[in-house]
Chain A
Amino acid sequence: MALRAEPPDGGWGWMVVLSAFFQSALVFGVLRSFGVFFVEFVAAFEEPAARVSWIASIGIAVQQFGSPVGSALSTEFGPRPVVMAGGILAALGMLLAAFATSLTHLYLSIGLLSGSGWALTFTPTLACLSRYFSRRRSLATGLALTGVGLSSFAFAPLFQWLLSQYAWRGALLLVSALSLHLVACGALLRPLSLAEDPVVGGPGAQLANLLHHGPFLRYTVALTLINTGYFIPYVHLVAHLRDLDWDPLPAAFLLSVAAISDPVGRVASGWLGDAVPGPVARLLMLWTTLTGVILALYPGAQAPTALVALTVAYGFTSGALTPVAFSVLPELVGTGKIYCGLGLVQMVESIGGLLGAPLSGYLRDVTGTYTASFVVAGAFLLAGSGVLITLPHFFCLSAPTSKPQDPVTEALDTKVPLPREGLGED
């Protein structure tokens, strides 16, 4: 593979999109559908629900906080071996869980082992995707991320069927086999060498550089604020509807409606992100502002039609902001540092995600309704979009390339020789 000057923007890149699609399905779809196993674990180990739900929490925490590790490793070794190793770890965790004799075993196998596997897969894949695309980056990311929504639909009934056929141990065995497809997805991540790679150096140097990179830090702050408010409706919408005297079935149906408009928003925003010239950060600001406004409007909506309309809109805008959120990063730090950058961002923004839902719940306990929760969530989103204005070239009219904002003349310890001969295209 030759040293490219520009990302290919197609070709094998679409296979990477396919790989990322299945990976986001296998990582987040499995995580989201794990609630199906919840009841079985409570019965099998005779433990209270709170202790069983730690399994998923540990898995999510390890996946998010382990993202920088996945990034650093893929900077060093390329994404393919890292993702394949991650797939083996994730499947191994599920396999060992099938033989668990206590809840602690599940914490370690699913939470720690599978969580580490997931940490090694998701972030390197998205970063690799960003390297393969520049003009159509947002669309590619949007398409890839629809895997999350679709898999949540498919996996919950699938897991339920597996449980009834094979009992939870057999079902975990088969979920392990399912997760092993991450290895096949990893095999599709053909490495790409881009012009700026030799310059940016190894992972240690990249991390140090990123931590001094002003726009990157501001962007991380913005994403953390956004993440704090982002999940509130998914977590509390049904409860809020019950407070308004909705029946459980229509309330759950409304959440499904949001789950449908979510992938539509992702693809639409992805296409828009590539079609509109100028920094993608502006579109991110648009979608986050809209989402924040919608959240702030929620307490005011009482009529069912208003709530349905708001939920459809929320699904669309919150889905829309995800692909552009990932596309802003290569514009800020360049595709050379994308692995490390993405890993750091994921780790920091996860703090927002972890704090958001409990904060919202606390506000509800204190005030008695979800009004404060929704308004505060909207405020976080608007604050995040405000920080985005401070990003460089925000008010530019022309499209930036995928080159890093800071030029090559940074003092970096590269430890590698520059090419001695010219390398042509393959």
Chain B
Amino acid sequence: MSGSSLPSALALSLLLVSGSLLPGPGAAQNEPRIVTSEEVIIRESPAPSVTLQCNLTSNSHTLTYSYWTKNGVELTATRKNASNMEYRINKPRAEDSGEYHCVYHFLSAPKANATIEVKAAPDITGHKRSENKNEGQDAMMYCKSVGYPYPEWIWRKKENGMPMEIVNTSGRFIIINRENYTELSITNLQITEDPGEYECNATNSIGSASVVTILRVRSHLAPLWPFLGILAEIIILVVIIVVYEKRKRPDEVPDGKPTLPTITKIKTCARETQIKYYL
């Protein structure tokens, strides 16, 4: 029947046309493929040197240039025009770890990249050895690390020699964690409970590290007692000196300008009236 064969023929042709328009398995052959070396884990130090490799295979586009990036930042002097990219790390350390990309740019196609992860245990590179503040002030302790993947940070305080997790019952502890940085702030330092050793601990899938910062809190009143003591001593000294002088020479008041009231003093002070004039 001619009536029923027409729609099926139409459908078939539509299918064929749409099939040719859709990207079929053959089109995938135009996309670049990149073969990379394995993920690297830097363990002991000194570690053997590491070479990252990227090989651009099955590429049908014109390659303009290629380079390496680490954590999104292009590495200097890696820009080349080669499909085979190598990046060598001599004496790898924790700070060499990160997410490395080999990036390929093409003439008339979007760029392509591949990822190689270089992992290491965290290494804490910056912290304060001690923090000395007055009570009531705010203390800030920090730790900086290098290492990828970015670690989890835990702050502990050593109580009786054992590190204990910090409990923020008083609400005065503020912890800020960023990828390779952590900060512990304590507001309104209390001299009874806050001084001690604080440990920051960085842990990632490879390993962990920790360092200790000693917090000391100085009392406001600490200098006050010596101050008052010295003040009292000076007053006593001055009194002794003045009294000694008055007792030796009771008829003298040698200091001061000549003023009218002195003239009205009694006879024994008449001498001092004149003496006042001369000083």
Contacts and interface: CB of A to CB of B under 8 A. Distances in A.
Interface of A: 1, 3, 76-78, 80-81, 165-167, 169-171, 173-174, 176-178, 180-181, 183-184, 187-188, 190-191, 193, 197-198, 416-417, 419-420, 423, 426
B257 A77 contact: yes
A166 B241 contact: no
A426 B249 contact: yes
Given A177-B231, A184-B238, A198 B257 contact: no
Interface stretch (B3-11, B67-75, B222-230): B222-230
A181 to B, nearest CB: 6
Contact of A190 (B218, B245, B258): B245
Given A78-B254, A187-B238, A191-B255, A178 B223 contact: no
B86 interface: no
Contacts of B258: 416
Given A1-B249, A81-B256, A167-B132, A173 B227 contact: yes
Given A166-B222, A198-B278, A1 B241 contact: no
B279 interface: yes
B230 A417 contact: no
Most buried by A among B254, B258, B274: B274
Given A177-B227, A193-B279, A197-B279, A184 B237 contact: yes
B134 interface: yes
Contacts, number: 83
B247 interface: no
Interface of B: 132, 134, 218, 222-224, 226-227, 230-231, 234, 237-238, 241-242, 245, 249, 252, 254-258, 271, 274-275, 277-279
Nearest to A3: B278
Contacts of B252: 1
Given A169-B134, A190-B245, A183 B238 contact: yes
Contacts of A173: 223-224, 227
A196 to B, nearest CB: 10
Contacts of B223: 166, 169-171, 173-174
Contacts of B274: 419-420, 423
Contacts of A171: 223
B222 A165 contact: yes
B136 to A, nearest CB: 12
13 contacts: A1-B249, A3-B278, A166-B218, A166-B223, A173-B224, A174-B226, A177-B227, A177-B231, A187-B238, A191-B279, A193-B279, A198-B277, A416-B277
B275 A187 contact: no
- Interchain residue pairs A-B with the least CB separation, the first 4: A170-B223, A177-B230, A184-B237, A187-B241
B76 to A, nearest CB: 33
B236 to A, nearest CB: 9
A141 B223 CA distance: 35
